[in-house]
Structure 1
């Protein structure tokens, strides 16, 4: 339990962030740009420190740190800085005849104070990524890094105040009690990345304040491998996606679905690829990671019980090391098929054909990602049309995460909401409906005022049901001409209608 002073401290952090937000300075576009650029400096100037922390937490190599986390963050920041003026510009929308002379638009405005609860498997990208969107949208933020990646969490707490506005952006470290106390506070949005089990608790806590949530969860992402594809290339890409970061990736292929006839070929191709990637002994490879802690080490090993090991299987508890492992002939009811693995173990489940694969996927919770390897367009079309998932990639894995123009998020049990690029900005903004009119032309409003008559109702029906094309897609002279013609049409209609009524 937290001591009273610690509980009060959580509230003070949130109050301080809200006071800073209420000054209005984060609504200024240049302020947001300056904060984003400061965050970019942090990533570039402290890359060596970040890399060292990740080596300590996850046995991450100095080369994998930029590849798996930092380059993506740089890209997100540069995109936001470049596009922010467009993202914040009022979005004009379609009008009806009755609102033709009005200014009708959507304006993105900040929500307020956002709570960001990061994850331990990618403690920088999954914590700072949402923060980029929060800053871009003009929010204040309280950041809670995962306590499991403790070296990174401590470094985030040390570095963020050195680069960002200390009153607007705060870091709270600690474990479950600190997180629970934070969730008691009122926020304007909660952004959580982690397990579905904890996601339900976060949503329950947020509901007490009617706080909207973004839940980036996980689940068992299937990987269907069709007979009609280049198995060598498919296995190379699957092996990379599954065993990067020691399998501790929310969108890693969780299991393979394939026909019995190609199972042994897949196993052999994966075995050869593992040797190419990590050598004869992956434990000595600088590119192969470790399980985050001994609790997760024991959990992953327990999932493998009763399964037939085709590749790997070795482990060392003192190092939290589990070798890249492939399991064959795994039964659908096996324990390892009941929960997300989040480790370097790849089960293979055999199916007769694509029909059975689709049924297998649809009988389970909707996954965060679905991977399909096939050269058959009909198979690809069926997988896209007859299944549901947060995202889908054909003939590759995980690469959709790097495309900022694609929304990243889950569906159903794998999460709600989306982010990356402008999607993060939109997720952490309120889309405010705005209509600006004048006090003139009051005669046009008579149809809505009492006393009502049949003729007034017919007049109101005409103006309300007839819509005009939005000028949002028109520019320059074309927009002006369109507006003039529309006004001319309106005046003509008014003359005719007023004479008739």
Structure 2
């Protein structure tokens, strides 16, 4: 495929203004939803082939999420598109001020492998709703999903509007050398830096959804039964291959033994005593990532799990105790089913230590103390998160989702997705019925009037 030619083809189509009307945008969103519904079984099969995902996990985390987003966009899009009237200062008497929302143009969406269907199409929904054309680059690490995405999209849309370009790293590199109007990337921090560097050469706006070491903090007031179950669910769903999974557990010394005991029980309740044999348990994406994770099992003390099957690319839900901040497992995002445990004695210690690290994409805090909750939320910077739960904030389309600093830039989901792919154009509509002479040079009292108006 000739990538420069494809981009020019999309730019020419965008310039016809065909993508601008609300009727067109809604029709494309509905068309995409119909195609997903039509291919549901094939999507589930592809996810099973690439990641050994269960039907339950695939539907709830990959397909249902998209249905909810599309339904919301179809319902709300007309209101989002309307020019937004804003206040006008007294110095602008006679004028009206508006913010118009216009599409950027040709957009590039680069998708990751961990939720290869949902994280490919969720940003695309925002691009479509905002009136852009789209080139989607799915991950080569999930080839069945990538191929199916190409089949579904290319049979549904003209390539001048929305198309899928498959390939490995060299294809991504070629795409990033081109001139796009906006780039949306989901993936690792190192690759995110490359995307931003390439985009900077073209002065292209970017949205980066990255990651980081997201803590889950449990204090001595927490309801431990619920904390254990919700932490186990959030950590080990998708075998821990989730950008907002709890990366490590930071627990108060007084409740640590009880919480860890309950956490073991929760894991067994979710995945059984032999998770390696559980057909509902997701596998590691490939041998490279398996081999990256395996040495972490030697860190600290193995408290639970640790069994693996490299041939099947499966690793048990694992808890590591007596971990220090200097251990290898604490140096980078784990992105796998390994939960290291750290201990604290005071909340001040938690705030100081977490703040000393890179800003995480997510943070989870289990407590029954509102004052402590406020302390954590106000004093630790992070992308988003939950109090007394994990993961769920990502599933609320009314909440913008994104990181801060090293964990990402920009946000999406729901209206935030529309905003991410829209330029907000500021307009002052001035009256022609009268004119004020004081605004022009040479006015006798102009400067004194302006000083009074602008104070």
Q: Normalised by the shorter chain, which TM-score bucket?
A: over 0.9
Alignment-derived partner of residue 278 in structure 2: 285
Task: Give 5+ residue unaligned stretches, structure 2.
Answer: none
Q: Is the 8 A contact 1:38 1:164 kept in 2?
A: no
Alignment-derived partner of residue 259 in structure 2: 266
Whole-angstrom CA distance in 2 between matches of 1:373 and 1:188: 42
1:118-148 deviation line (CA, Å, top 9, x unaligned): 0100011111000000000000111000111
1:206 and 2:196 equivalent? Answer: no
Counterpart of 1:65 (choices 52, 58, 82) is 58
Alignment-derived partner of residue 230 in structure 2: 237
Q: Helix, strand or coil for the counterpart of 1:107?
A: strand
Q: Helix, strand or coil for the counterpart of 2:50?
A: helix
Q: Helix, strand or coil for the counterpart of 1:190?
A: strand
Match runs of 1:99-498 below 5 Å: 99-442=92-435, 444=436, 446-453=437-444, 455-464=445-454
- After TM superposition, give the deviation of residue 452 of structure 1 in Å: 4.1
Q: Is the 8 A contact 2:276 2:309 kept in 1?
A: no
1:329-370 deviation line (CA, Å, top 9, x unaligned): 101110000000000000001112211111111110000001
Alignment-derived partner of residue 68 in structure 2: 75
Q: Helix, strand or coil for the counterpart of 1:319?
A: coil
Whole-angstrom CA distance in 1 between matches of 2:202 and 2:246: 36
Q: Helix, strand or coil for the counterpart of 1:223?
A: strand
Provide the TM-score with structure 2 as the length reference: 0.98
Q: Is the 8 A contact 1:13 1:170 kept in 2?
A: no
Name the structure where helix makes up a greater proportion of residues: 1
| Matched pairs, number | 455
- After TM superposition, give the deviation of residue 98 of structure 1 in Å: 4.1
Alignment-derived partner of residue 94 in structure 1: 87
Whole-angstrom CA distance in 2 between matches of 1:266 and 1:285: 24
Whole-angstrom CA distance in 1 between matches of 2:77 and 2:127: 12
- After TM superposition, give the deviation of residue 464 of structure 1 in Å: 4.7
1:42 and 2:35 equivalent? Answer: yes
1:381-415 deviation line (CA, Å, top 9, x unaligned): 11111111001310000100011111100001100
Whole-angstrom CA distance in 2 between matches of 1:188 and 1:270: 47
Give the stretch that moved more between structures: 180-189 or 256-265.
256-265
Q: Is the 8 A contact 1:186 1:209 kept in 2?
A: yes
Give the stretch that moved more between structures: 262-271 or 95-104.
95-104
Q: Is the 8 A contact 1:371 1:395 kept in 2?
A: yes
- After TM superposition, give the deviation of residue 376 of structure 1 in Å: 1.3
Q: Is the 8 A contact 1:35 1:165 kept in 2?
A: no
Give the stretch that moved more between structures: 424-433 or 253-262.
253-262
Whole-angstrom CA distance in 1 between matches of 2:299 and 2:370: 37
Q: Is the 8 A contact 1:90 1:108 kept in 2?
A: yes
Q: Is the 8 A contact 1:116 1:141 kept in 2?
A: yes
Q: Helix, strand or coil for the counterpart of 1:179?
A: helix
- After TM superposition, give the deviation of residue 307 of structure 1 in Å: 2.4
Q: Is the 8 A contact 1:39 1:164 kept in 2?
A: no
- After TM superposition, give the deviation of residue 174 of structure 1 in Å: 0.5
RMSD of aligned alpha carbons: 1.2
Whole-angstrom CA distance in 2 between matches of 1:68 and 1:237: 16
1:411-453 deviation line (CA, Å, top 9, x unaligned): 01100000000011111100001122243313x2x11222243
- After TM superposition, give the deviation of residue 456 of structure 1 in Å: 1.6
Q: Is the 8 A contact 1:156 1:171 kept in 2?
A: yes
Whole-angstrom CA distance in 2 between matches of 1:384 and 1:98: 40
Task: Give 5+ residue unaligned stretches, structure 1.
Answer: 1-5, 466-501
Whole-angstrom CA distance in 1 between matches of 2:368 and 2:428: 51
Provide the TM-score with structure 1 as the length reference: 0.89
Alignment-derived partner of residue 16 in structure 1: 9
Q: Is the 8 A contact 2:299 2:323 kept in 1?
A: no
- Displacement over 6 Å in runs of 4+: none
Whole-angstrom CA distance in 2 between matches of 1:51 and 1:374: 37
Q: Helix, strand or coil for the counterpart of 2:98?
A: strand
Whole-angstrom CA distance in 1 between matches of 2:67 and 2:330: 36
Q: Is the 8 A contact 2:276 2:308 kept in 1?
A: no
- After TM superposition, give the deviation of residue 197 of structure 1 in Å: 0.6
- After TM superposition, give the deviation of residue 83 of structure 1 in Å: 0.7
